[in-house]
């Protein structure tokens, strides 16, 4: 019986190591793809290691925890860079049609970034709770105990 317990603990440890390694590999892939997406690879001075370091710093700066948050942060940094480049193109364009095209693109990218930032904030919710220690309900009054959702719906 002790062999079975030892074996299950060992299997559990192996699964944990495998899961940790899978997460590490996933983060590495997200970081490398983001480094490529956010860099000028056609530039002859492109430094792969510097690009990966910058991508890793972005994940840390935005406190990405876990695969989904890492992917969102990677998308956010790519979208942000593209949006900034598009604004620069709009500002430097002398043609009205090109300026309008780049401006519209920049607005769409900015909206995309805003949605991604809102999703990241929601995923990183700090779990704030409000604790009410004392409630007085007088004759004719009402009190609600439980989770309150502040959603507004219109009814006909």
What is the pLDDT at residue 138?
A: 78
- Does residue 113 fall inside a structural domain? yes
Average pLDDT over residues 58-64: 86
**Is the separation of the CB atoms in 144 and 93 below 8 Å?**
no
Residue 114 has pLDDT above 90, yes or no: yes
Residue showing tokens 């060992």: 10
- Does residue 87 fall inside a structural domain? yes
- Does residue 39 fall inside a structural domain? yes
Return mean pLDDT, the chain: 79
Those residues with Cβ within 8 angstroms of residue 54's Cβ, 6 or more apart along the chain or in another chain: 35, 38
Task: Kindly report, residue by residue over 67-106, the tens digit of the pLDDT.
Answer: 889 999 999 999 998 999 999 999 999 999 999 999 999 9
Residue 8 has pLDDT above 60, yes or no: no
Provide, rounded to the nearest whole percent, the portion of the chain with pLDDT above 70: 75
- Does residue 139 fall inside a structural domain? no
What is the pLDDT at residue 100?
A: 94
Distance CA 146, CA 144 (A): 7
Number of domains in the chain: 1
Which domain does 63 fall in, by range?
2-123
1 vs 11, more confident: 11
- Does residue 14 fall inside a structural domain? yes
Residue 134 pLDDT grade (very low, low, confident, very high; cuts 50, 70, 90): confident
- Does residue 152 fall inside a structural domain? no
Q: Where are the alpha helices (DSSP H) in 38-151?
A: 48-61, 67-92, 96-123
Residue 107 has pLDDT above 80, yes or no: yes
127 vs 18, more confident: 18
């Amino acid at each position: 019986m002790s062999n079975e317990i030892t074996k299950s603990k060992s299997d559990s440890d192996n699964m944990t190591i495998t899961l940790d390694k899978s997460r590490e590999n996933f983060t590495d892939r997200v970081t490398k793809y983001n480094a490529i997406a956010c860099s000028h690879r056609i530039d002859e001075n492109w430094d792969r290691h510097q690009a990966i370091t910058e991508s890793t710093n972005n994940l840390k700066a935005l406190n990405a925890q876990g695969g989904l948050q890492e992917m969102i942060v990677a998308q956010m940094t790519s979208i942000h860079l593209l949006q900034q480049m598009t604004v620069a193109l709009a500002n430097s364009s002398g043609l009205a049609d090109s300026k309008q095209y780049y401006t519209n693109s920049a607005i769409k990218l900015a909206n995309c970034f805003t949605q991604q930032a809102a999703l990241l904030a929601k995923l990183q919710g700090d779990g704030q709770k409000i604790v009410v220690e004392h409630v007085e309900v007088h004759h004719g009054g009402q009190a609600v105990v439980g989770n309150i959702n502040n959603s507004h719906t219109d009814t006909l």
